[in-house]
Amino acid sequence: MEDAVTIPLDAETKAAERPGDHKAELRLWLRLLTCTTLIEGEIRRRLRDTFDVTLPRFDLMAQLDKTPSGMTLGELSSRMMVSNGNVTGLVERLVSDGLIDRRPAPKDRRAQIVSLTAEGRRTFRAIARTHEAWIAEIFESLSSSDTETLMRMLAKTKTSAGNAIRSEKSR
């Protein structure tokens, strides 16, 4: 077994080392992906139809709302929940709409700190209140015990995936 630690294994070898049927895990992953895609699509549609706002724009404002002192573009990119290749473009538009402010970082004037304006905060919070009600509606059939169980199982999943990612990177 020491070999497995010292000799990097390619994916095919690893696949061969995990013989047997992994259909249960594959079905689980596809169900997890289906649920997320279904809910994300619905939230995306409602944000657009109700507030004329895209999901990445809402997500960006949500990250800034959590950090009143603001953050750099790099921090902002790494915190966003939905992938978006163009944080700079989103920021440009939010600045020109008066919803966010941009200023040089005090310690590194080449970096820029962005934060919500008062109007940006008001706008975000109005949308966020409705967004929260949508999420409650979407999960309505789950009891609070179901919610707790699902939270616990997803925490395990996150830890398990994190371990797989770290062990892959250290190979």
Contacts with a copy of itself by CB under 8 A lie at 10-12, 14-15, 18, 22-40, 42, 46, 50, 81-83, 129-130, 132-142, 144, 146-147, 149-151, 153-165, 168
Q: Please name which of 54, 98, 101, 105 lies closest in space to residue 80, comparing C-alpha atoms.
A: 54
Please give the Cα distance from 8 to 16 (Å, whole number): 14
CB 128 within 8 A of CB 62: yes
- Report the residue number, 42 or 92, with the smaller CB distance to a copy of itself: 42
Closest CB 6 distance from a copy of itself, rounded Å = 19
- Report the residue number, 108 or 168, with the smaller CB distance to a copy of itself: 168
Q: What angle do CA 63, 66, 71 make, to 5 degrees?
A: 65
Closest CB 59 distance from a copy of itself, rounded Å = 10
Phi and psi at residue 49, in whole multiples of 5°? -70, -35
Closest CB 121 distance from a copy of itself, rounded Å = 18
Closest CB 102 distance from a copy of itself, rounded Å = 26
- Report the residue number, 28 or 105, with the smaller CB distance to a copy of itself: 28
- 3-class DSSP state of 62: helix
Give, as one character, the DSSP assignment of residue 81. Answer: S
- Report the residue number, 45 or 103, with the smaller CB distance to a copy of itself: 45
